[in-house]
Copies of this chain bind each other. A is one copy, B any other.
Amino acid sequence: MLELRLVQGSLLKKVLEAIKDLVNDANFDCSATGFSLQAMDSSHVALVALLLRSEGFEHYRCDRNLSMGMNLNNMSKMLKCAGNDDIITIKADDGSDTVTFMFESPNQDKIADFEMKLMDIDSEHLGIPEAEYQAIVRMPSSEFARICRDLSSIGDTVVISATKEGVRFSTRGDIGAANIICRQNTTVDKPEEATIIEMQEPVSLTFALRYMNSFTKATPLSNTVTISLSSDLPVVVEYKIAEMGYIRFYLAPKIEDEEEETKPQT
């Protein structure tokens, strides 16, 4: 039997909004340590990894490891029916082919049960090794989202270049070219507004903007985003989920002759 009670139910709503456009169907894995998901996007280019640790739930009961295949679009439809202040409880009986989402309004006057059919989904869990990154950029998540959206109006790919001074985002398209530089800045009033670059060595990598824009759907989950860059490793775009875990997106860089210069793609 599974029963996971999350007081801040809006977190789960935001998690679904962050991944449902990228992934259609996925297995949620429940164990004693937490509620997690690992899935490739539908075109098998990007990888999403989600972890909500058991300590973050008000009540967490998971008698045995359970993998529940869900259609994320349907799950999102149901979670949209939860109020932003509702407590959400995920319930499943052992061997059942359904999962129930229970929404309780803060004053307990309204109780909703949404029962969803589970699916059988083939998936293999990839081991993601810990890696050393040449540069790790931490910046305001809304700034990163804005930059990805802005560059998309000019080109299809973004070159992300990190140096000690700052991080540069560049693109090029039919109508022209764009360069946006965010300077390292640690002396801000609010820590979440800082832009911090941890450098081992300068790095410059090219990515499809379409995927970056998908990742930024997770922006409401966290004030900051961490971008970990290394040549020949997938970039990791991570949004921390307050005191509970994270959502991480992995995307392989594009290989180009001149990494500094992106070309319009069709």
Contact = CB atoms under 8 A, between A and B. Distances in A.
Interface in A147-162: 150-151, 153-154
A110 B181 contact: yes
A1 interface: no
A176 B115 contact: yes
Contact of A178 (B81, B98, B178): B81
A8 to B, nearest CB: 20
Interface stretch (A16-24, A55-63, A70-78, A213-221): A70-78
A180 interface: yes
Given A80-B153, A117-B175, 11 more contacts: A78-B176, A81-B154, A107-B185, A109-B185, A109-B195, A110-B182, A112-B150, A114-B178, A115-B177, A116-B175, A117-B176
B115 A180 contact: no
Interface string A169-191: 00000011111111101000000
A181 B82 CA distance: 13
A116 B71 CA distance: 44
